[in-house]
Every structure is written in structure tokens, then in C-alpha cells.
Amino acid sequence: MKFNIKNILYISTVAIGIIAAGCKSDFLDVNNTPNNPLTVPPTALMTTLAYDAAFVNSNDLGRITSVLMQYQAGVGNQVAGYDSYNIRGNSDNQWNGELYAGLLINAQKMIDNTQATSPVYAGIAKIYKAYGFGLTTDLWGDIPYSEALKGTSILNPKLDTQKDIYLGTPSVQSLFDLVKEGLADLDKKSILNPGTDDVVYKGNLANWKRLGNTLLLRFAIIISRIQPERAKTEIAAVLASSAGLIVDNTQDFQVGFSTAAGGQNPIYAFNIVNRPDDQLLSQRFRDTLLAYKDPRISKFFTSANGTTYVAWNNGATGTLPLPPTRSRYGIFLTGATGEAPIRMITNFQRAFMLAEAALSLNTAGNAQNLYEDGIRASMLKTGLVTAEIDAYFKANPSIITLAGTTSQKINQILTQKWIANCGNGLEAYNDWRRWGFPRLEKALNATGGDDNTIPVRFPYTGNEQLSNPNIPTPGPKTFERVWWDID
């Protein structure tokens, strides 16, 4: 069997099915049936978790949110539906497969298998688990959490409120405490320690600690408008941590892919190989980049002649531009043949988050300097060189300099963060819901959602509503905001 990323996920799924059926073995036991393992080795789960996280971020959940956030316009098949906000009934595979039966259960199995003997692996798995549950609650609000991942012992887990998931209760561990528990595990003595099986950091635990702290920062920013004091306390703690934050592009939480068929990144596989005619550059994003004279446009998107970017207005009708002329995701997001990494938590995000916090929460740091750091980090990440970035800064002082009211400055920060997050619609979707920045007009001819406006939450999936009586039917409307979204 050819070994590629799809096979990794398949092997993991089969192994989980065996485990769920009740098979047990001690972590270090010799397996007498190597073709039917009773317990998945942590080295295999470590690799699988990385690709699980990357697929969650960049597969269909990423496509939906990237269209909602107007990076791309959907013009074919289900992506055309997303463009007019028809998202109900479209995420069963992501909820059931990529999240609960993928990233989340794999993280839980690694915790169960390694906590007693190799807690470093368990600590990393807790960071993955917190990241996955964070994405899930951010999209759906109240979700199965404290009773989830229990196998056959709890077949119909209850929903915990998003507030309890973020803040915790005596019976519900908060996402903050889950990450902190994982960070504490990284300092414990382990029989096994990650190495090449860790495709993100190659066993560099200092970088895992930086990621954990940056994830805590991200959680704090997400709840900062509904819980400003808690957010401020959490941010002060990570700023004081000796482990530090992600402060360099080389420390980014990202997962690389290969050029081999079946091993290419999901953005390339969908946009270039499988469904090349389903979406193209949004006219609205293009117009922003051109108005800002932003050189990243050539990194984010293709151009048939090197200068003209052929886009489409979200929700427009009429004759589409010919496929060969359309601007699609470019080499920065896809690689030449699918090898580009999927970037999930980055140095530029860290800088923009701290800039926002300095303005909105009065946390430590100079908002102007952090804002500039975020733009520079993003531009460097796309492949621009320092001289090009310096020239852009000098030629565009009104873009580079924060000005006006606090709200206007935060608009500037989040608009630049939106630009930098091109390809990561999930992050932009959270920011837009929290502040309404950048200002986005609804798509033309919008017919979907529950009130024909940009959805502010995902509807529960049909399969989950049928299988778990605790999931409300029909559930919240797409215009009903999640707990942390007060705007």
C-alpha cells in the first residue's frame, strides 16, 4: 500500500475502531498481532494528529469560512451554495469525521495511552485537543465536551455551554486549564519523547511550550469582549511566562505536505486538482489588496498575465470569466505542486492579538509596534524580502500608522490580520464576529442562512441531531450569536 496522508488517517481510524470495540493492552506490551494493533503507538498518533489538525483547518470548514470572509467567491457546486450562505447540512463529515472521530478522539487516545508512562506525548495531545475543541465550540457554540470521547460508556454526550467550556466549572475543565495541564506535562519525565514523528516541531519542547502559551493568548482574545478581566489576567500570565510565545516565523504551528498524489495539502487538492472551477478570488478581497497596493496579492493568488487579477463578486450572477483566466489561490497557499504547509497559529497572529489587547484591554506592549510586527511577519512569511517591506512601509504611512479612535485602530489591526490570514478563514471568521471588522457587506443575491445575512454560527449537523437526542432540533439559527460574540 502506498504510504501517504490519506493512509495515515485511514490507519488511525481503523485502529480507533478496534480500540472502541473494547480491546486493551498495556502501553509497552509487545503486540502479538502486528497487522491488527490493539493500541496505536504514540509515534503514529503524533503524526496523525498533525494532519488531523491541518485537515480540520483547511478542508471544508476552511472553505466555508473563507467564502464567508470573502477571500474567495464560490461559483460551482456546494461552494456556490456557501457563497449565498447555504451552509445548513454541509458539515456532517467535518463534525463526525475530522473533529470528533478524527482530531479529538486521536488526541484523547494519545492521552490515555501515554499519561502514565510518557506524559510529554500526553501534554502535546492536550494542546491538540484544546485546539480542536476550541475550533468546534467557536463554530457551533454549545457542544459535547466534558462527556465526549468516552467511547461506548457515554453514547449520547450532553452539551456543555460555550461559557463553561471556556471558563470552566467544578465539573467542566476549561480550555485554559486543559492547555495549562498539557504544558505541565511537557516538564515531566517520559519513557518516550517525540522526535521525527513530530512533524510540527521535531520534538522541540520549547516550541510546544511557546505554542501552548500562544494558544492561551488566542483563547483570551476570543473571550476578551465578553470577559475582559479574565482575558486580561490570562494574557498577563502568558506574557510573564518564562516559556514565552511564538515570536518568530520559524516557530509557527504549521504542517507541511508533499508533492505526491494523495499527500498534497487540502487547499491544493481541492482548488487545483479536484474542483478547480468551484471558486476563485473574491472581487472584494482583490479590491482591498489593490487599494492598499499590497504586494502580497501576487503571493496569495495567481494571475494569468502577471498583473491582472480576475475575480468575482460574492453572490453575483452572469457569465463567469473563463477558467484559464481566473485568479485562484497561489503558490504561497498551495505550493508549486501541493507541498505548502497549512498554517494554523502563527507569529503574525501573535503580534496582531497583542496589538489588539494593548488597545482594548490595556495589556503590556506598544500597539503600534506590535501592529507593524504583525504586518512585517506576514509579509516575510509570504516570501517578500526586507527591502520590499521597508519600501512598502515608507510608501504607505497611512496604512502602517494606527490613527483615530480605539475602535478605528482595532479596525486597522483586524483588517491587516484578515489580509494576513488569507487561506485561514476560521481565524478571520472569529475576528469578524467579535468586532465586525473588517467591514463586510453581505453577498449579492444571498438566499441562504436563516435571515439571508452572513451567518454568525454554524447550524448543528443533521446526522448529529438524528443520533444524539441532546442536540437540539432544529437548533439555533445562523443569525443567533455564540456566547463570546457580543457585537
Residues 380/431, Cβ–Cβ less than 8 Å: no
Contacts of 407 (CB under 8 A, 6+ apart): none
Residues 420/297, Cβ–Cβ less than 8 Å: no
Contacts of 222 (CB under 8 A, 6+ apart): 134, 138, 166, 430, 434, 484
Helix (H/G/I), strand (E/B), else coil: 447:
coil
pLDDT recorded at residue 33: 41
Distance CA 200, CA 208 (A): 9
- Tell me the sheet residues that pair with 282: 312
pLDDT recorded at residue 38: 53
Q: CA of 223: how far to CAs of 114, 166, 361, in Å?
A: 31, 8, 12
Output the nine-digit C-alpha cell for 112.
490515555
Q: At what angle do helices 5-20 and 42-58 cross, to 10 degrees?
A: 120
Distance CA 479, CA 487 (A): 12
pLDDT recorded at residue 487: 72
Single-letter residue type at 285: F
Residue-by-residue DSSP string for 325-345? G---B-HHHHTTTS-PPEEEE
Distance CA 164, CA 115 (A): 25
Distance CA 122, CA 182 (A): 7
Q: Structurally, what CATH architecture does the domain formed by 5-259+342-467 represent? A: Alpha Horseshoe (1.25)
- List the chain domain ranges: 5-259+342-467
Mean pLDDT by 10 residues, the chain (487 residues): 36 38 35 50 95 97 98 96 93 96 97 97 98 98 97 95 98 98 98 97 98 98 98 98 98 97 94 94 98 97 93 96 96 96 98 98 98 98 98 98 98 98 98 96 93 96 95 95 93
- Tell me the sheet residues that pair with 169: 172
Instruction: Report the residue count for the chain.
Output: 487
pTM, rounded to two decimals: 0.92
pLDDT recorded at residue 450: 92
Distance CA 445, CA 431 (A): 25
Closest CA to 482 of 138, 169, 68, 220: 138
